[in-house]
Structure 1
Amino acid sequence: MSNSTLNPQNSTLPPALIFDMDGVLVDNTPVQARAFQLLFRDLGLTTKALPLLKRLNGMPAGEIIQHVFRHPIPKKQLDSYAEQREFLYRTLYWDKRRALPGLVDFLKAARAEGHKIGLGTGSGGPTLSYILDHLDLRRYFDVVVGKDDVPRGKPHPDTYSRTAAKLGVAPENCIVFEDAVLGEQAAYRAGMRCVAVTTSLKAKDFQAPLTTINDFTTLTPAQLLEMLAQQPDVPQPQKRRG
């Protein structure tokens, strides 16, 4: 893939903003890890879930679970394990669902300034509703793309490419918000720039984001335009990270 170049000063429209869900809209990675750990315990596995998620976060749950085994697991069995993990996660997180600080104000400001806004996640319909509808966030997104809308999950570019296509925006005019290394790589593979959200990883763990943020309390849409001017080329994805 060749570098894509954008001169935001010559762009007639503000860049589209595309958000991952888990770890970006909500800080739920520790709870996700706890749910995986309980599943592994039930299966008699000794894998440590949190380090696993730091490496594979962004993939659909079934694909993450497959990585724990040394032999292929039938898809029907993986789906069953994923459903068990999802039940554990929802039970653990039920009373803890909160939008990341500053998120709603940032989304309102971005919409007011004409940014198209999309969501691209490896989660499916019921899990999307569990977060988006409970927190009344769906109304801020023009497009929502989940795991059932694409053939391949992250780090493949499909999720973000599909979101941009549905928004009607060229990839080079999109900014992705990601908390995972594989998600950052998916953004670069799709020809987009990325803002890293450090809810579960450190800034140094990411390749080349426009910036890193802990939450949305200090970021403004206007600052994103300044950052784009300082990074005119989309970073090339690194195979070792993906």
Structure 2
Amino acid sequence: MTNNKPKAFLFDLNGTMINDMAFHNHAWHNILTKDLGASISFDAVKKQMYGKNQDLLERVFGIGHFSQEQIDQISIEKEHRYQAAYKKHLILIAGLDNFLEKAKQSGIQMAIGSAAIPFNINFVLDNLNIRSYFKAIVSAEDVVNSKPDPETFTKGAEILGVEASQCIVFEDAPKGVEAAQNAGMRCVVLTTMHTKEEFAAYNNIIAFIEDYTDPVLQELF
């Protein structure tokens, strides 16, 4: 896979550490169509689920359609609905618990680089008791420009004190892989929400995996 052994793993969260993207899709589709009156299909919502919540609302309705106060209210209501529906299903993607422990034992630093708000990141880290693995957490509130801009990942690497070329990003979305590519980082793709064909535009992918039990991951250590 790679001769350049990594010093850091940077993880996206939703769809990468937990398989929850369908729940986000349902929550967004419900809010956009039933609450806000948008005429948008479930699949079209799926394609818009990258970047910050504000970015998604502006892509669907246009910049300036909502006030910042309205955006914040819509965003937190969406997350409450998502969490209520998903909490009983909350579990790490298969094999990730062992993978995190092996990385820790191997001295590989770890960070989270997510477009989620802290409310959602804390929901996962605290309910699954995995916060101690991560030296850095970069959320939507920590960046000016969301994915596919590289800021989320470059900021995580900077906090860890690791060069981009020594980082491996774990992602599930094309725009996230693009962000890693823009940051000069190699990427492992989780095929939880998107097919391999949807990543054809990117040249930084070193592996596609369904979950963290894939033996190809042992080559990273």
- Structure 2 residue 14 is the aligned partner of structure 1 residue 15: no
- Structure 2 residue 167 is the aligned partner of structure 1 residue 174: yes
Aligned to 1:63: 55
CA distance in 2, matches of 1:166, 1:59: 21
Tell me, which stretches of 5 or more residues in structure 1 are unaligned? 1-5, 226-242
Question: Of 155, 162, 166, which aligns to 1:162?
Answer: 155
Tell which deviates more after alignment, 159-168 or 214-223.
214-223
Aligned residues of 1:157 and 1:190 also touching (Cα < 8 A): yes
What TM-score, normalized to structure 1?
Answer: 0.83
CA distance in 1, matches of 2:178, 2:214: 25
Q: CA deviation at 1:223?
A: 1.4
Matches within 5 A, 1:23-62: 23-40=15-32, 41-53=34-46, 55-62=47-54
Aligned to 1:216: 212
Task: Indicate the SS of the match to 1:210.
Answer: strand
Per-residue CA deviation, residues 116-174 of structure 1 (Å, 9 max, x unaligned), is: 11111111222111111101111111211111111111111111000000000001111
Aligned to 2:115: 122
- Structure 2 residue 81 is the aligned partner of structure 1 residue 88: yes
CA distance in 2, matches of 1:24, 1:186: 15
Residue-pair matches, total:
215
What TM-score, normalized to structure 2?
Answer: 0.91
CA distance in 1, matches of 2:63, 2:146: 21
CA distance in 2, matches of 1:187, 1:172: 11
Higher helix share: 2
Percent identity for Structure 1 against Structure 2: 30
CA distance in 2, matches of 1:46, 1:126: 28
Q: CA deviation at 1:198?
A: 0.6
- The two structures, once aligned, show a CA RMSD in angstroms of 1.8
Residue identity in the other structure for 2:88: D
Task: Indicate the SS of the match to 1:94.
Answer: helix
Residue identity in the other structure for 2:56: I
Specify whether residues 220 and 108 from structure 1 end up closer, same or farther in structure 2 by C-alpha distance, changes over 3 A only. Answer: farther
